[in-house]
Chain A
Amino acid sequence: MADAALPNGATPFTPRPDYWRQWRESSALPGFRLAFGFTLFYVGLIILLPLAALVARPWEHGVSGFFDAITGSRTLAALRLSFFAAAFAALANVVLGVAVAWVLSRYEFPGRSVLDALVDLPFALPTAVAGVALATLYGPNGWIGAPLLSIGVKVAYTPLGVFVALLAVGLPYVVRSVQPVLEDMEAALEEAAQTLGASTWQVATRIVLPALAPALLSGFAMAFARGAGEYGSVIFIAGNMPGVSEIAPLVIVSKLEQYDYSGAAAVGVAMLLISLLALVAINIVQVAYSRRGER
């Protein structure tokens, strides 16, 4: 993400090597030590400690036991499904999310604030409730499921169902990361481009999209990471057929159900690693992109 806002919008012009001196100067507010200490402590407590406990868990049967646990055909199929469905859903959400964010930030219409609030609802809804609702809607007898079935499209209880659930789960992440950027973006910029003779298409691809790209990437990353680990809303619509529509978190749950703590942790660690790699890759792209913008 971009550097923290600086007083008066000033950018420190000190070159990078002068890191240590920058430590305190970057904020006009006092209390850096306390805040920094608290940040380290809190991140450690809330994020690092549980992750360390997870990573420490799967080695009961050595390294080979770890690999046995994650390379079973059932586990591999589940990992594939979870990550691919999450990636496709996040990708679709990038497109759909921009459209939603665009409408919400650029137009005034009655009910806009209601619509705006609705976008956040998937955050607030218990995931199981969303899952049950989706399964009912897209099931073979559901309002959407039945007509789709009559044209030969089966949604609930197939991998497509997983995709649909992740679509619903991921939308707010994209909308909420794109919307503020769109709202801050001067409409004058687009108008200027138009007066200079740019076509609508050129305005969209040369002016709007480049400005949105970092936000889109982080929206994609959040939707993807959340989708890969999503359990509650998916479990009701997935069908949970081993090797076909079984998601990775369910494999973890079924291992726990056999009191196979180390196997469950192994799959957890595998998911963590895949997510981490994906997020790092996205971050690299993001950094490269913003560097390009600075030049």
Chain B
Amino acid sequence: MAAPGMASAAPATTLLNASYDPTREFYKSYNILFAADWKRRTGQDVKINQSHDGSGKQARAVIDGLEADVVTLALAYDVDAIAQRGLIAPSWQSRLPNNSAPYTSTIVFLVRKGNPKGIHDWLDLVKAGVQVITPNPKTSGGARWSYMGALAFATRRNGGNETKALGFVRGLYHNVPVLDTGSRGATTTFVQRGIGDVLVGWENEAMLAIDEVGPGKLEIVRPSMSILAEPSVSLVDKIADKHGSRPLAEAYLRFLYTPAAQDLAARSHYRPRNPAVAARYVEKFPHMDLVTIANFGGWQKVQAKNFADGGTFDQIYRPG
């Protein structure tokens, strides 16, 4: 957790990137890629330090004083929270292309070999006798994407009728036997402990799980539609200025959009934004009908309506 705290006249040569859990492997390789490129262009050696934890926890750590020059988090809401405390410029999301989300993912289903329960779309998740594993949206950024994916499907299916859409989501969560606190925890419950018929979660986590247990034991099912999950990145203005690391930090984030980095993202199971790279990986990431969080009015609105205390998620579990 040690932050590079040396403010000096010379341009900074270290960065701290505060990220969330599933990006560990990606940023490990990305940092090497970036450092090599930076050295080639400027002759300067740079050192990138990483810190990983749950997305919300990382945002709170930065708010409470973790001196991260850049944050690469699971959802814009967490970056917004830092921005609201004045550490990041309010316009952060428009500073980089694609809503400052250089790679994306989506919510898919992971089922057991042969798909014994015949799960093909969201509707199959509310069937009696189907156990769905997904983490708690109150504590997991990934779970919030899953929840909104289900809501997006139900809203479209019910012609925009909100009550009916929420009824569907309620039915889905009635089939959830355990609410893990994070995405990794839910994956462990499903994969290692063998609980449940379907895991609803990040596409990149699903692919990682298949990598880990080997082929032939799990299958990915892509529903008829889902949500475009946009993990967001930003410079932390106050801290970068304090460290004098702004040029380096900006270059670090911009480099995420280069073909080389996009290719690495694709290999790390994130959907690349770059069309040429995406075309190369179209088999790995088939086209899906994806709605964005903007369809729901953005994260601030979505959070207040659904995940704040007394929101739609709480109502699901209200007795009676």
Contact = CB atoms under 8 A, between A and B. Distances in A.
Interface stretch (A86-94, A182-190, A256-264): A256-264
Contacts of B194: 141
Contacts of B193: 135-136, 139, 141-142
A57 interface: no
A256 B60 contact: yes
B318 interface: yes
Nearest to A161: B178
Interface string B299-320: 0000100011110001001110
Given A141-B194, A260-B309, A253 B177 contact: no
Interface residues of B, number: 29
Interface stretch (B24-32, B101-109, B159-167, B179-187): B179-187
A8 B307 CA distance: 65
Contact of B178 (A132, A239, A258): A239
Interface string A242-256: 110000001001111
Given A135-B193, A141-B193, A256-B56, A236 B309 contact: no
A226 interface: no
A66 interface: no
B138 interface: yes
Interface residues of A, number: 29
A239 B181 contact: no
Interface string B165-204: 0000000000001111100010011001111000000000
Nearest to B59: A259
Contacts of A240: 136, 178-181
B309 A263 contact: yes
Given A254-B138, A259-B60, A259-B81, A72 B192 contact: no
Contacts of B314: 74, 242
Contacts of A132: 188
Contacts of B81: 259
A259 B81 CA distance: 8
Interface string B111-143: 000000000000000000000000010110000
B178 A254 contact: no
Contact of B319 (A142, A243, A250): A243
A242 B195 contact: no
B309 to A, nearest CB: 6
B317 A242 contact: yes
B86 to A, nearest CB: 14
B83 to A, nearest CB: 12
A135 B195 CA distance: 11
Interface of B: 56, 59-60, 63, 81, 136, 138-139, 177-181, 185, 188-189, 192-195, 303, 307-310, 314, 317-319
12 contacts: A74-B309, A135-B193, A235-B181, A236-B185, A239-B177, A239-B179, A242-B179, A242-B314, A253-B139, A258-B303, A259-B59, A260-B309
